[in-house]
Structure 1
């Protein structure tokens, strides 16, 4: 199974692609989609760059599933709204590519990757490097995206087994074709 992880951001969105075979994780690709070259006031153009960028990544790497970080920003309401729109562009791109989308908080990702929810960015980077046997540290946005993909590789498999055993649907927070459960 190939998983595309997304760390949404209006200026920089991270992406990470991992292959999962049993318990083995393999690095495929990672990077960022940047809107820094556009005027900050041109929100529609920035959202289009994110939408198109996610579509290009999905077309290039052909993932079987995707996972996106749930973002929380409480200090500045305007920043929260802008980030929500960026996240929406990413989600829309993923479902447009017919990918199932799972969502995980930063806390869940940090617990799955680093073992505790208070892990610093550098700790996440180091653990992603170790888990995927990378030669160097990935950038922080790419590391978070890879962390989200790793989280889905571990948690998603468990949730699918649980749903299969109970005959129910996977828990909420998972989307397919734009519909929430």
Structure 2
């Protein structure tokens, strides 16, 4: 599996870009997975549903299964938050894993930057950022890509990861 990250401040457009990139990769025949880091208490389950009640009763894991999909909910309890490598090991085999978040991981990353947000660029402090995608021209020693050109960004990622499809 090839792994590539999107990093940026909240509101920069990481998820929106991922929504545009994924179909481009899939159209090329790639099997794509994503890992999204959340900085808050994530709960995919609904109060009152059986699976929610199982967790509320103390189950450390609940696997929801249907004919369309399955999801495994794991309660960390007092365990430390897993690192990216532990999450990657749980994924089924695929061609490309796109990672949103995990800013401090040592994977190649594209920084998503919108100057209008008033936030500083991340790249000076992260040697794993290999390019910047922005909606405004930037002066930087890294390749600068147009955030509004997802096909150009997809090609850049494929070239960098040496994926030919």
TM-score class, shorter-chain normalisation, is: 0.3 to 0.5
Give the TM-score, by structure 2 length. Answer: 0.33
Q: Which of the two has higher C-alpha Rg?
A: 2
Structure with greater helix share of residues = 1
> Whose RCO is larger (CA < 8 A, sep 6+)?
2
| Structure-1-length-normalised TM-score | 0.31
